[in-house]
Structure 1
Amino acid sequence: MLLTNVELAFRAASVALLLVLAASLLSDFRNVLAARLGAAFALGSAAHAVSYSVGVTSLIPAWHAPLIALSTGNIVVFWLFTRALFDDAFHLRWWHGLVWALVTAFSFAGCVWIAPGGNVRFSITMVNLIVLGFIALAIGQTIASWPVDLVERRRRVRVFIVCAAALYGGLNAVLQIAVAGHHVGDLADTINAGVLACIVAAIAYAMMRVDGADLFPIASEAAPAVVFIQPAADDAADQRLIDALMRLMADERIYRQENITIGVLAGRLKIPEYRLRRLINQRLGYRNFNVFLNNHRIEEAKAALADPTQAEVPVITIAMDAGFQSLGPFNRAFKAVTGVTPTEYRRLKVDAA
């Protein structure tokens, strides 16, 4: 009886914190995709807190099935949340919703049809392998986007959020596969509920310590101005570094180099990476290093496309000369900045001449 009450208290605490977190995100950042996905992830996690148990049998209460399905589908929301949190230019596509629907539907079918039909272990194993797959995608996204994130406080807290959620979800998935079809006992459920409550509390605390605008930008960074913000008069050292950085961009066109990294650029300026990251973020207004590079590349491409003497030069040649590695990313970045495709931009400039 004591274990049951403690478990119930842990579950209630998790649900309460998650609901408050979701309400806070929607209240303060309802127009930001990452915040909306974060709120959806919090609500899905609340469904998990209500319905989860370590070790299940084929006898699942009918009211549990929808909650378990939403809890499973929440791993897709988690993956999308990490993408939106780490990439300010990320947009949802129709197939993202389809993936969520398929995962949720499969989990629901496992609860009401596959597991009761005598295939408990198969159902649990497949669902949790899906969970592990999306956790791997989320971790991969974190690792891939880490070097180009310029917001220092976001860099720290986002790794904690992803690692804590991924570690909890991953261990639970492995545990469920190991004990599939067996009821482990009340002690395991109580421990699990306690661990979840602690993780939720830690994530909520970490997010409260970071300025919300660092995590969830009010405005998109698709096309920030290339002109940098003038520093205060007493920041002469920073000003000299910014001047040197802009000379590298304007005179040497270092952005043309293949696979240029912030480490290479910091090495050219003979300063630590963290300082260059801070300068580009706080002085120039960029949140992502690739956006910083691409805006310089696009300025060069715009000049080439508007040049009558280069009217016969293929668009892909102009893109490659400016530092892009392929036509697709160039077209997307160019349209995000100018609102038109490179071909349309060239035609508009010709018509205006």
Structure 2
Amino acid sequence: MTPAAAELAFRAAAVALLLVLAASLLSDFRNVLAARLGAAFALGSAAHAVSYSVGTSSLVPAWHAPLIALSTGNIVVFWLFTRALFDDEFRLRRWHGLTWALVAAFSFVSCLWIAPGGHVRVAVTAVNLIVLGFIALAIVQTIASWSADLVERRRRVRIFIVCAAALYGGLNALLQILAGSDVGDVANTVNTGVLASIVTAIAYAMMRVDGADLFPAAAEAAPAIAASQPVGEDAADQKLIDALMRLMADERIYRQENISIGVLAGRLKIPEYRLRRLINQGLGYRNFNVFLNSHRIEEAKAALADPAQAEVPVITIAMDSGFQSLGPFNRAFKAVTGVTPTEYRRLKVNAV
């Protein structure tokens, strides 16, 4: 088989797998933001598989330009996908769509006007520096939020998905910046082969994890805080759950600044993985921050409903409950109660 034929076969295999993956995500989890972004990322990656070539050229076929623009804009989708993948409460904002549009538009203009105008190296370098920037953001997001994920199997799969995609995208961006205009068919064949292999590995990894673990079927309300939550049959686990709830109720450890699952595990003298399992399987939480915020919000609700604290500013109640700023408190409070803290206080006052 010639290098050109092998390259075509790899491209076709990658596109086919990506389209199947996108269709599967939309079919099974169309109401979940992370799954929709995953499907969008798969479709953008299909555009990349069709249009990408190693090396630089000032002459890009007109029909390639939209595909290249979609491929470049896909790095923004990848960043948003990693955010939604590690944070069940993440929501899209208008500026996210605007960011995607700006990146895709710049890539489109680079293909049709900047590069043909004699600035091919400038265009290629600028586009790929943007790609590297969003890959860096995705990696930082992954590192920052990975430890809060309490579902062990999806933690492993998520880190693999992000690392594999970031490694491929980063190496390709660097290669485009450093490569000349003529790198040969072998380089493109190797590149498409690597892409097809990575797509296959990601699809295989996702199939090995329960879909409900990776993408929750629906946003569920946080479990009620109670010492009598369902736990496993192991008496030792029950004692640990009781000890954990005492830390929450009596010491209010959730108020502690920068409290982490490692610190909490240290207080209970157990490994982190065991504490993750207890909070996830015993108390029903999927995210450590949601677990902490549920306690913080219960304390805030009590304070907001207390007539004696009617003049205490909302931000003071938020800070006293363990939140570091007003914005995250307002978002978390409304996600749980359906109203803002100010509205909640007004409703409680009117009910008296």
Q: Distance in 1 between matches of 2:216 and 2:301?
A: 27
Cα distance, 1:222 vs structure 2? 5.5
Match of 1:284 in 2: 283
Structure-to-structure mapping, 1:1-353, within 5 angstroms? 2-180=2-180, 182-221=181-220, 223-227=222-226, 229-232=229-232, 234-353=233-352
CA distance in 1, matches of 2:91, 2:178: 37
Which amino acid in the other structure matches residue 42 of structure 1?
A
- Retained in 2: the 8 A contact 1:89–1:221? no
Contact 2:76 2:100 in 1 (8 A): yes
Q: Letter of the 2:278 partner, please give it.
A: L
**Match of 2:155, as an amino acid?**
R
Q: Is contact 1:57-1:120 (8 Å) kept?
A: yes
Q: Deviations over 1:146-196 (max 9, x none)?
A: 12111111111111101100000000000000125x121101000101111
Check whether the contact 1:335–1:341 (CA below 8 A) recurs between aligned residues: yes
Question: For the residues of structure 1 that align with 2:342 and 2:65, how far apart are their CA atoms?
Answer: 52
Q: Distance in 1 between matches of 2:188 and 2:160?
A: 24
Q: How much has 1:324 moved relative to structure 2?
A: 1.1
Q: Deviations over 1:247-280 (max 9, x none)?
A: 1111111111111111111111111110000110
Q: Give the AA of the match of 1:81.
A: F
Aligned-partner residue type, residue 158 of structure 1: R
Provide the alpha-carbon RMSD of the alignment.
1.2
Q: What TM-score results when the alignment is normalised by the length of structure 1?
A: 0.97
Q: Which moved more, 1:319-328 or 1:293-302?
A: 319-328
Task: Name the amino acid aligned to 1:317.
Answer: T
Residues 231 and 281 of structure 2 are in contact (CA less than 8 Å); yes or no, is this contact kept in structure 1? no
Query: TM-score scaled by structure 2?
Result: 0.97
Aligned amino acid, residue 194 of structure 1 = G
Q: Which runs of 5+ in 1 are unaligned?
A: none
Preserved CA contact (<8 Å) 1:222 1:291: no
> How many residues of Structure 1 are paired with residues of Structure 2 in the alignment?
351
Distance in 1 (alpha carbons) for counterparts of 2:81 and 2:189: 28
In the alignment, is the contact (CA less than 8 A) between 2:54 and 2:187 conserved in 1?
yes
Is the 8 Å Cα contact of residues 73 and 103 (structure 2) preserved in structure 1? yes
Q: How many angstroms does 1:125 deviate by?
A: 0.4
Offset from partner CA, 1:103-159 (integer Å, 9 cap, x none): 111111111111111110011000000000000000000000012111111111111
Identity of aligned residues (%): 84
- Tell me which amino acid in the other structure corresponds to 1:162: V
1:302-329 CA distance string (max 9 Å, x none)? 1111111111222111111111111121
Structure 2, unaligned runs of 5 or more:
none
**Secondary structure in 2 aligned to 1:58?**
coil
SS at match of 1:188: helix
